Structure 1
Amino acid sequence: MYPARAVVDLTAIRDNVRSLASHAPTAQVMAVVKADAYGHGLVPSARAALTGGATWLGTAQVSEALELRRAGVLDARVLTWLYAPGAPLREAVDADVDVSVAAGWALEEVVAAARAAGRTARVHLKVDTGLGRNGLTPDQLVELLAPALRAEAEGAVQVVGLWSHLAFADEPEHATVRAQAQVFADAVRTVERAGLRLEVRHLANSAATLTTPAVHYDLVRPGLAVYGLSPVPQLGGPQAYGLTPAMTLEAELATVKAVPAGTGVSYAHQYVVERDTVLGVVPLGYSDGIPRHASGGATRTGGPVQIGGRRLGVAGRVCMDQFVVDLGPRAVERAGERVVLFGTGAHGEPTAEDWAAAAGTISYEIVTRLGSRLPRVHVGDLADAGEAGAGADAGAGAPAAHDLAGQVTR
């Protein structure tokens, strides 16, 4: 039993994908499930996304794609895109995984993997249209076309996709969005004129899926939005786009005690109580992914929590395994009281976006940084879609009021 958990509503993930599909009705949906599905649990989240209408899954690492296949997720196309020389590409080809190519050496290794596997590898060429990150420059793309065509003629590869990534998708009116879209359109024409027949062209991430229909092409690649968080919080929260946050992070108070005025709280006494009060210890810390930058002090409000219907904040420094909350002089809470760090916000609880603001970061980091020792409990109509052999019913280890009928999957 762990005194905290990330409760993941798979029904919300399913419905979020349905909503995203409605924003891009002319395109297929690739649900990006990299980074353990943004901390939500790779396999259960992938299955929920497929139930919602996604036909593709996207993973950064080859190991993630292989894990999906080993878990029996076979009814979707899977694309993987980030690897170094020597990656297990033969295993990826054997597992019917599409592979991105972002450099000349990568095409050579995919060809070698296909030859070793004795089957054709499906390839997506990644072009750097202005992000300045992974991908072929337009000139490098031109240079790669001849060897790609030779590999196709040999039967080693089939170039099925061309793709890129936007630098300012979360600012849809930014000049770079239009500029990158033009570079991408030119790259599509270049590839097609060379004789490659593209099945899918894809450029839109979560933000562009929701705000820039002109770049939807054949396939959109939402990541954060699949999990119900807004990629453009300055334009609108999740509800504005028909999304529901899928994760609730909760814990139980471990210690509750009265202390006198002047008591220093946590390391370096960054927070000192000004009056007699009651302190509560929450058994989560930075080893669980709670940002140390969300610590609270005399002049700074710490990361928000909800306890007994009240909105409070971290008092003092976040430690490795715990942090403290000043419950106030009239506190009635006892050890075991439920603490909600973030959730949907529908019941006044903080959200992941609130924690992002407190830590000076983005909601992407808040959910993906959660530690591996923190159990993920999957609930909702799709809870049975959890990983095979994924542990016992979570109800026995959770507060009775929650009626958690899902599975602890890690």
Structure 2
Amino acid sequence: MDTTHSQPPHPTTAALSTLPADASTEGLSAWADIDLEAIRDNVAALGRRAGDAEVMAVVKGDAYGHGLLPVARAALAGGASYLAIAQLGEALAARAGGLTAPVLTWLFPPGADLATAIRSDITLTAAAPWALAEIAAAAREVGTTATIHIKADTGLGRGGSWGEDLSGMFRDAARLEADGVIDVEGIFSHFARADEPGDPSIRAQQEVFEAALAEAERAGLRPRLRHLANSAATLTNPSATYDMIRPGVSVYGLSPVPDVGGPTHFGLREAMRVTARLINVKDCPPGQGISYGHRYTTTEQTRLGLVPLGYADGIPRHASSVGPAQVGGRRYTVAGRVCMDQFVLDLGADSPAAVGDPVTLIGQEAKGEPTAQDWAAAIDTINYEIVTRLGSRVPRRYLGGL
């Protein structure tokens, strides 16, 4: 086998530290509990919204920082029939890790090892004419029909093809399918503004998608899986369901439309809980600058708590002086700059906190704890970024027995 272009396992997947579900957290400075039952139940809830349509669970980016292999298995247990993994290297890592369910991948460069992907029974995306040509060449090399999905750009202006490129792909794909080189199992696209329910671009993209499907049919293609709905569309736009939904962030119990409602509003629950321990607690006088640059100064006698997580662990530096944390049921805000490995909390003069006490950084909305959405709102980003950036130095403990 020619391995000239073979790709190594996804580095996050390879490096992630895990703990047994019954492992003690004593002696750990921080850890993340991943509730696999929540993953399973979220997928099941999303599937109920989809009716007869299938569920393709998006587990790209090391399952949004939750851990690819255990999360994929939990999603399949919840009724997902397909997995979506953006990077080809990570899709191959999924196969190497023992996942046998159908996997769709869509990001790979010219010259990628598509032959290995086809041998591994990975569904490849033809997002441009060159990709279709290279998939066909790899399928002929392997002597196996390649399963593909064609990606249409319906207005996002990112991946996929439109115009004559898309029309030409439909014609070429029909010819290749007739020759047994490929099997066009699916056609899909992606919304630009599904997280803004009611935006006119949503309906406009659906109309372009439906026109593309009609053109594909005229070219002789009969895809079994037409998919367009991401998490936001799954939760707010039933008309976009088609044959399959493709939820991502909602699988993890996070809302893609926080202005409409949080996880509990949609019957979801957060799967990730991030906990650290205070490793230093000390009295502090008024007028003391805190952390690099002294961008925060105490105004009265207080107590400081040191949390051993920083931007090397995925705590955003932009969360300096705004990020939320909870100690002993009290909500606090990061005091001063987030450093590479640590940040400080101003606990107040009356705080009973002690060294070793747990600090909840990411918890559950229903319990009144800081959430990924709270962190996102604090730094003007999205909850997706908060969970996916959690680093490999924070071990994951998988709960739920799945």
**Normalization by structure 2: what TM-score?**
0.92
Find the aligned partners of 1:359 and 1:377 in 2 and give their Cα distance.
Answer: 27
Q: Which moved more, 1:80-89 or 1:16-25?
A: 80-89
2:121 aligned residue (76, 96, 116): 96
Q: Deviations over 1:192-215 (max 9, x none)?
A: 111112110000000001111111
Q: Structure 1 residue 368: deviation in Å? A: 0.5
**CA–CA distance in structure 1, aligned partners of residues 125 and 163 of structure 2:** 16
Mapped contact 1:2–1:374 kept (Cα < 8 A): no
The question of 1:370 aligning with 2:399 is answered: no
Q: Does 1:216 align with 2:241?
A: yes
Corresponding residue of 1:397: none
Query: Which of 120, 125, 132 is equivalent to 2:145?
Result: 120
Deviation of residue 168 (structure 1)?
Answer: 0.7
Q: Which residue identity does 1:334 align to in structure 2?
A: A
Corresponding position of 1:266:
291
**How far apart, in 2, do the equivalents of 1:254 and 1:38 lie?**
28
Q: Which residue of structure 2 lines up, in the alignment, with residue 39 of structure 1?
A: 65
Looking at structure 1, the residues matched to 393 and 128 of structure 2 have their Cα atoms a distance apart, in angstroms, of 36
Q: Per the alignment, in what secondary structure is the counterpart of residue 203 of structure 2?
A: helix
SS of residue in 2 equivalent to 1:141: helix
Matched, 1:294 2:319: yes
Q: Which amino acid aligns with 1:101?
A: A
Alignment partners' CA distance in 2, 1:175 and 1:188:
20
1:225 alignment partner in structure 2: 250
Letter in 1 for 2:357: E
User: 2:350 corresponds to which residue?
Assistant: 330
Q: Distance in 1 between matches of 2:83 and 2:275?
A: 28
C-alpha deviation, 1:348, in angstroms: 2.1
Is 1:253–1:335's contact at 8 Å kept on the other side of the alignment? Answer: yes
User: Which amino acid in the other structure matches residue 270 of structure 2?
Assistant: P
> What is the alpha-carbon root mean square deviation over aligned residues?
1.0
Q: Residues 251 and 283 of structure 1 are in contact (CA less than 8 Å); yes or no, is this contact kept in structure 2? A: yes
**In structure 2, how many angstroms separate the alpha carbons of the residues matched to 1:97 and 1:180?**
28
> How far, CA to CA, are the matches of 1:131 and 1:155 in structure 2?
32
Q: Does the residue aligned with 1:173 lie in a helix, a strand or coil? A: coil
After alignment, is 335-344 or 139-148 more displaced? 139-148
Contact 2:263–2:365 (CA under 8 A) maintained in structure 1: no
Identity score, percent:
57
Please give the secondary structure, in 2, of the residue aligned with 1:315.
coil
Q: Unmatched 5+ residue regions in structure 1?
A: 297-301, 383-410
Alignment match, 2:364: 344
289, 305, 312: which one pairs with 2:332? 312
Cα distance in 1, alignment partners of residues 59 and 387 from structure 2: 13
Corresponding residue to 1:204 among 229, 250, 267: 229
* C-alpha separation in 1, matches of 2:112 and 2:303: 54
Question: What is the aligned partner in structure 1 of residue 373 from structure 2?
Answer: 353
Aligned-pair distance for 1:149?
A: 2.2
Aligned partner letter, 2:71: S
**Aligned positions, number:** 376
Whole-angstrom CA distance in 1 between matches of 2:187 and 2:288: 61
Aligned to 1:168: 193
The CA distance in 2 between the partners of 1:176 and 1:346, in whole Å, is 33
Structure with bigger RCO (C-alpha 8 Å, 6+ apart): 2
Shift of 1:37: 0.3
In the alignment, structure 1 residue 79 sits paired with structure 2 residue 99: no
Corresponding position of 2:56: 30
Structure 1 residue matching 2:39: 3-state secondary structure: helix
Alignment deviations for residues 130-185 of structure 1 (CA, whole Å, 9 cap, x no partner): 00000001321111223212222322111111100000101120000000000000
- Determine the C-alpha separation between the residues in 1 that align with 2:216 and 2:366: 48
Higher mean displacement: 351-360 or 148-157: 148-157
Q: What does residue 401 of structure 1 align with?
A: none
Post-superposition shift, 1:63? Answer: 1.3
- 2:161 maps to what in 1? 136
Question: How far is 1:2 from its partner?
Answer: 4.2
- Is the Cα contact below 8 Å between 2:264 and 2:366 reproduced in 1? no
Offset, 1:351: 0.8
Structure 2 gaps, min length 5: 1-26
What are the Cα deviations for residues 12-41 of structure 1, in whole angstroms up to 9, with x where unaligned?
000000000011112100000000000000
Alignment of 1:232-243 (within 5 A): 232-243=257-268
Cα distance between partner residues in 1 of 2:258 and 2:309: 26
1:64 to 75, 81, 90: 90
1:73 Cα deviation after fit: 1.1
